[in-house]
Amino acid sequence: MRPKIYLFGDSITEESFCDGGWGSSLAHQFSRTMDVVLRGYSGYNTRWALKVVERVFPAELDSGVGRAPAAVTVFFGANDACLPDRCSGFQHVPVDEYKQNLRSIVSFLEKRWPEAIVVLISPPPIDENARLLHPFIENVLGLPERTNEAAGAYAKACIAVAGECGVPVVDLWTKMQQFPDWQKAYLRDGLHLSEGGNRIVFEEVIKKLKDAGLSLETLPVDLPHIAEIDPNDPLKAFQI
């Protein structure tokens, strides 16, 4: 069977299969070698993710040969970082709990699938002015529900957990801010990714997977390529 990579996260993962999304780019990259499976849940934080992780990845997935995934991306933190006294405060998770929740999610995945590559992705930076224009719910205070400073604290926590657990991590918060005009180049509403932002996530995830030994060069193609089929004897390529 083809190996799989699961994408587990919040809305930035859920919408990653849109045109130009980082998930759809991964599916295109591995179109003949690996299935990309979406498990994105808009609005979720790590507290909620930890509550449902066993339903997202039930034991039934392990039945049969070759069912363990090759990799799982875990992309939470943007909602945990909502400020508790602002309009999206119900999504807030304190940073220390966020770290513990991430550890627990990684531990669950590693116990379930010891050979799988788990890649953490930090929350992206926040454009606070743009968030004022795109509130999720009524914003009576007129203040952004997220700040870039808070997002940075959760990104730092994500990186710390990756170090503790010995798993690769994409520091999206830092990476995006290395470029000029990142607010408009990589974010479409101050939080969610533009096409350019999706491209960065795709490229960084590809790098982490390759560093861990998972790439087009290491994955077999599941069926003969058209170039391998003899025009004079096409069925020969399908003989086992």
> Would you list the DSSP string of the chain?
---EEEEEESHHHHGGGSTT-HHHHHHHHTTTT-EEEEEE-TT--HHHHHHHHHHHS-GGGG-STT-S-SEEEEE--TTTTS-TTSTTGGG---HHHHHHHHHHHHHHHHHH-TTSEEEEEPPPP--HHHHHHS-SS--TT-S-S--HHHHHHHHHHHHHHHHHHT--EE-HHHHHTTSTTHHHHHBSSSSSB-HHHHHHHHHHHHHHHHHTT-STTTSPPSS--GGGS-TTSGGGGG--
The pLDDT value given to residue 63: 58
The pLDDT value given to residue 203: 98
Catalytically annotated residue among 10, 11, 16, 88: 11
Please state the pTM of the whole predicted model: 0.93
Average pLDDT by stretches of 10, the chain with 240 residues: 94 96 98 96 98 94 71 97 84 97 98 97 95 73 85 98 98 97 95 97 98 95 89 90
The pLDDT value given to residue 65: 47
The pLDDT value given to residue 85: 82
What are the chain's domains?
4-238 (3.40.50.1110)
**Is 192 among the catalytic positions?**
yes
Catalytically annotated residue among 35, 134, 189, 194: 189
**Is 107 among the catalytic positions?**
no
The pLDDT value given to residue 64: 52
